[in-house]
Structure 1
Amino acid sequence: MDVATAPDIHPTMELDEAEAGATRERIVTAEEATQLAELFRLLGDPTRAQLLYALLEAGELCVYDLTETVQVSDTAVSHALRLLRTAGIVASRRAGRMIYYRLADVHVRMLLDLSREHLRHG
């Protein structure tokens, strides 16, 4: 395939400054891109993904219940939850000596739902 017929190259090989400028104004900033990359890195771990989907399905679970559900050690669950809580992906509440975890907000729920739907679509 030559350069003129390549689908990802502009046919005139000239910069459309208006289009490039308008697109540049709409894309995420470098700081937002860094934050998004960190979010997706956190979501990219299979154990953390399973924990998040367990919370999506159950609503709220303690470490012990998450350990039994995902079948990994309580140390691994606690470490994963600490990372997810620090990132604002999960929230927690204390009830006596127990700490219960849940998804932080509706946006996390939507992200997980859309991700699962995307997997099922393909």
Structure 2
Amino acid sequence: MSKKDTCEIYCYDEQKVNRIKDEITNENLGSIAQLFKALADENRAKIAYSLCQDEELCVCDIANIIGASVATTSHHLRTLNKQGIVKYRKEGKLAFYSLDDDHVRQLILVAMEHTKEGKSNV
């Protein structure tokens, strides 16, 4: 870091800081961190993005899309399911996955737009 991107003296707005700290305490930011942690894996991000493109895909479809085994893909899908990112339904011996809700789709698509703008390349 250079001197230009830090404060040169230490001072803070106590009222603003306390208000924000109270808001952080009252919100479930741990869940948000877990959501992003689940999507931080490239294969899980690919799965989520793939499910934005189609209503639902079976595990075998997803495995082929991400270039992984069915077992590895199932492991990633379980992680995404536990975080409420995807849901599944069984049809006979097949398991079909879809995004849990439109908020997840919006999150993925906004992240894609952000990366296309070139602002997330660190």
Corresponding residue number in structure 1 for 2:14: 17
Count residues with an aligned counterpart.
Answer: 117
Q: Residue deviations 1:57-85, cap 9 Å, x none?
A: 11200011111222111111010001111
Identity %: 34
Return 5+ residue gaps in structure 1 as ranges.
none
Q: How far 1:10 moved relative to its partner? A: 7.1
Tell me the amino acid that sits aligned with residue 90 of structure 1: V
How far apart, CA to CA, are the structure 1 residues paired with 2:6 and 2:26?
Answer: 24
Q: How far 1:36 moved relative to its partner? A: 1.9
Q: Which has the higher contact order (CA 8 A, sep 6+)?
A: 2
Give the 5 Å matches for 1:20-99.
Answer: 20-26=17-23, 28-29=24-25, 32-99=28-95
Q: SS at 1:29's partner residue?
A: helix
Return 5+ residue gaps in structure 2 as ranges.
none
Corresponding residue number in structure 1 for 2:117: 121
Tell me the amino acid that sits aligned with residue 17 of structure 1: E
Which of 6, 9, 13 is the aligned partner of 1:8?
A: 6
Q: Over aligned residue pairs, what C-alpha RMSD do you find?
A: 2.2
- Structure having the higher Rg: 1
Q: Structure 2 length as normaliser, TM-score? A: 0.83
How far apart, CA to CA, are the structure 2 residues paired with 1:59 and 1:32?
Answer: 29
